[in-house]
Structure 1
Amino acid sequence: MTKPEGQKIEQISPCSPLYLHPSESTNHSLVPSKFNGKNYDLWSDAVKTALDAKNKLSFIEGNVKKPVLTKGQEETLEAVAWRQCNAMLKSWLRCSIEEDLHASINFSGTVVEIWKELRDSYSTGNSPRVHQLTTELAECRQKKGQSVIDYYTKLKTIWDELANYSKVHQCTCGAAESIRKEREDERVHQFLMGLDNNLYGNIRSNLLMDDEITNLARAYSLVLREESLKAATKEKDDVLEATAMAARIPDGATKGRNYGEKKDDKDIFYCTYCQKPWHTEDYCWNKPENQGRGRGRGRRGRGRGGRGHSERANAAGVSEGDATKQGLTAEELVQFRALIASKGDNNSNDKGSLFEDEDWTGGA
């Protein structure tokens, strides 16, 4: 379209609330966290901040009025711009609210009417919310296993929301600095009071030893440093404990190690062959090849049928699966059991039978 000579084309100034940038879209959400019916106060504050950045806050506050046209008057440039901005803001609000709530909100009116309806329907009021936040602040503690960052973030969220409800005006006189310092000290005490006493009791005492309490940022930084130091120390202690545990286990016993169900059994090691405790496979008398080892010295004791009973028990404990592992056939296994049984019967009447170190089967 060519511009007629001598005619001026009207344009909306970029500084005007009626101005819309060409990149603006109707499917744009103003805030990352949508309104779900329970977070109105935080959501509305975030929406107002976003609209203020776009120079559109005056629309929902009702300061930009709809241009009035007389009957038969052609729509002016300002009227067109206002209609477009109103439609754009309604789309932004719709995209910033969960879809489940769309049916309960009337989007047919102006953006000012929609904003007022949301405020009247979902705003809980200052007094109940302030009481709730104050209670949460008094009960805020670092839970077991909770990081310092998560604990501080929760505190900071409560402080910031309470500040939105504060009716104290900013002071510009000489007392402004002392008021700010007093509020800062109060937050430092609240932060230190909620820390885990077992982990950060010492650093809390050190910070409170000074007559002049440090600022909140400095206290937070020192506690974070203490948390990192404790994490590094714990990792080092775990490595040393694992190394010491490995040193207490004899060579060859780690294969069959079984910790069991009880915590006090964690230092017991088991034989990989018979699964009995306190000996290794090399010294297991349940293995046929170890039956004849170690005659001649050891601990002496007297008892009835000691060796015969032990040998019969060893023979009975040899299963077909164990025999297969040792290369024995089923017939050889039967002969082996009969031989051991006969030897045991011959020795059962010998009251002078000796128990030797190597005869120990590892039984509890």
Structure 2
Amino acid sequence: MSTENTQNKENHQDPNSVYFLNNSDVNSSKLVNVVFDGSTGFNDWQRSMTISLSARNKLCFVDGSLNRPAATSTDFKLWSRCNDLVISWILSSLESSIRRSVLYLRTTRDIWLDLEERFGQSSGPQLFSIQQQLGDLNQGNDEGISCFFTKIKLLWDQLHGLEPLPFCTCVGCKCTITEKLLKSQQNQRLIQLLMKVNDKYAHTRSGILMMNPLPTISKAYNLLLQEETHKDLSNLKSQFSGDGLAFSANKYHDVRSYKQNGQTSTTTNTIQRNYARNSLYCEHCRMKNHTIDKCWKLHGYPKNKGKRIVAAVTQDCNDDEQESGTVHATLTAEQHQQLMEYLEKFQNIDKPNPTTSSLGLAVSSQLEGPSHEQASFAW
């Protein structure tokens, strides 16, 4: 094997060589996801292509640092192969009409220069459009600081691509003019960011403006993001506390309803019945669990239900004592007998006595032993 063939093989297989190609390079038909359509975004497309080509060690084919070898050189075939591969990557990322306009250019360098000459020059309409977007841009009330910062930084980058900062090219210059211009640009963008954020960041904005010297844009963004996180956690904590109180109140109301109705079942049907009953309200006695057309205080108490009904009514009266304004007393067995005889006299009258209807007496008796009987009533 000759020396030229050996060197050719080494260049082809050396990962550090510009002629080295791996399987992903050969099989990749599209290098970037950004497709340039010729209207706007050339700087974004050019930046994406530059990054991808540099990662594959092929940037030298478009920036002019690698010249085309002579046709008699051993590297000519390797150069031609890599050149055609880079051309295919560029063409696949261009819109069809632009792709046809550069299809017959022979080298990637020629295509790159042609696109820069046509679309890379800054123009007044493009600068006007970006400046107008920056002027109209403001953070919405429901927009996060991260989303807003991404929008404004994208416009800054586009503006920098059209009109980059000048830099000093003097040999051995110590004026640091480039650093001063960069700091001035950063301060202007920082003020622009603080002017356009929502007023809920007023406290953090004041703190940033009081710093001397002014912090970088990244530091200011970090402080605004921390303030947003703190506010979100505070709102979440307040909402959680409110939901917890509402849940506790509903739970207490359900348990109280179970005790009033003498129920211990926790099935779904029982809960539904309890809610339906608790929604009832009597305008006459101002108590829950029944309506005025079934109010015992207005229509009389049933005589054949025994002590359970009377005790239940008395229990409701005891629970709603503060709301209904009733007064409870305890009677002896003899007083209870006299009261029952008095009520029977009114029930024997043909026309109901309105005075008796409005009294709203609730009677319950409970036997505690063979020797005595207790009764309680509520006015």
TM range (shorter): 0.5 to 0.7
C-alpha spacing 1:216/1:277, structure 2 compared with 1 (3 Å): farther
Which residue in 1 is equivalent to 2:21? 21
Give the letter aligned to residue 105 of structure 1. Answer: R
Give the letter aligned to residue 25 of structure 1. Answer: V
CA deviation map 1:189-230 (0-9, x unaligned): 112111110x21111122223453223232222222211211
Q: CA RMSD in A?
A: 4.3
C-alpha separation in 2, matches of 1:222 and 1:244:
33
Give the letter aligned to residue 290 of structure 2. Answer: W
Give the letter aligned to residue 99 of structure 2. Answer: I
Contact 1:31–1:46, Cα closer than 8 Å, also in 2: yes
C-alpha spacing 1:223/1:35, structure 2 compared with 1 (3 Å): same
C-alpha spacing 1:27/1:290, structure 2 compared with 1 (3 Å): farther
C-alpha spacing 1:66/1:299, structure 2 compared with 1 (3 Å): closer
Q: Is 1:136 matched with 2:138? A: no
CA deviation map 1:219-246 (0-9, x unaligned): 2222222112111111111122223334
Offset at 1:34?
3.8
C-alpha separation in 1, matches of 2:256 and 2:84:
74
- Any unmatched runs of 5+ in structure 1? 70-74, 256-269, 301-342, 359-364
C-alpha spacing 1:173/1:7, structure 2 compared with 1 (3 Å): closer
Which residue in 2 is equivalent to 1:258? none
- Counterpart among 163, 166, 169 of residue 166 in structure 2: 169
Give the letter aligned to residue 81 of structure 1. Answer: L
Task: Write out aligned runs for 1:224-239 (5 A).
Answer: 224-239=225-240
Give the letter aligned to residue 354 of structure 1. Answer: S
C-alpha spacing 1:158/1:7, structure 2 compared with 1 (3 Å): closer
C-alpha separation in 2, matches of 1:194 and 1:357:
71
Contact 2:122–2:162, Cα closer than 8 Å, also in 1: no
- Counterpart among 255, 262, 284 of residue 289 in structure 2: 284
Which residue in 2 is equivalent to 1:96? 93
Task: Write out aligned runs for 1:246-325 (5 A).
Answer: 246-249=247-250, 251-252=253-254, 272-273=275-276, 276=279, 283-285=288-290, 294=313
Larger Rg: 2
Which residue in 2 is equivalent to 1:184? 186
CA deviation map 1:303-336 (0-9, x unaligned): xxxxxxxxxxxxxxxxxxxxxxxxxxxxxxxxxx
C-alpha spacing 1:355/1:180, structure 2 compared with 1 (3 Å): farther
CA deviation map 1:143-202 (0-9, x unaligned): 1222111122222222222222234322453343433332222122112111110x2111
Q: Is 1:30 matched with 2:27? A: no
Comparing both structures, which one devotes a greater share of its residues to strand?
2
Contact 1:299–1:357, Cα closer than 8 Å, also in 2: no
SS at match of 1:141: coil
Q: Is 1:222 matched with 2:223? A: yes
SS at match of 1:272: helix
Contact 1:142–1:196, Cα closer than 8 Å, also in 2: yes
TM-score, normalised with respect to structure 2: 0.60
SS at match of 1:273: helix
TM-score, normalised with respect to structure 1: 0.62
Give the letter aligned to residue 276 of structure 2. Answer: Y
Contact 1:144–1:196, Cα closer than 8 Å, also in 2: yes
Give the letter aligned to residue 151 of structure 1. Answer: F
C-alpha separation in 2, matches of 1:235 and 1:278:
37
Contact 1:34–1:96, Cα closer than 8 Å, also in 2: yes
Contact 2:201–2:224, Cα closer than 8 Å, also in 1: yes
C-alpha separation in 1, matches of 2:224 and 2:361:
58
C-alpha spacing 1:7/1:186, structure 2 compared with 1 (3 Å): closer
Offset at 1:84?
0.8
SS at match of 2:167: coil
Task: Write out aligned runs for 1:60-99 (5 A).
Answer: 60-61=62-63, 64=66, 66=68, 76-97=73-94
Which residue in 1 is equivalent to 2:153? 156
Offset at 1:31?
2.4
User: Once the two structures are aligned, what percentage of the paired residues are identical?
Assistant: 19
C-alpha separation in 2, matches of 1:76 and 1:86:
15
C-alpha separation in 2, matches of 1:55 and 1:147:
39
Which residue in 2 is equivalent to 1:354? 358
Contact 2:30–2:93, Cα closer than 8 Å, also in 1: yes
- Any unmatched runs of 5+ in structure 2? 258-272, 302-311, 327-346, 363-379
Offset at 1:43?
0.8
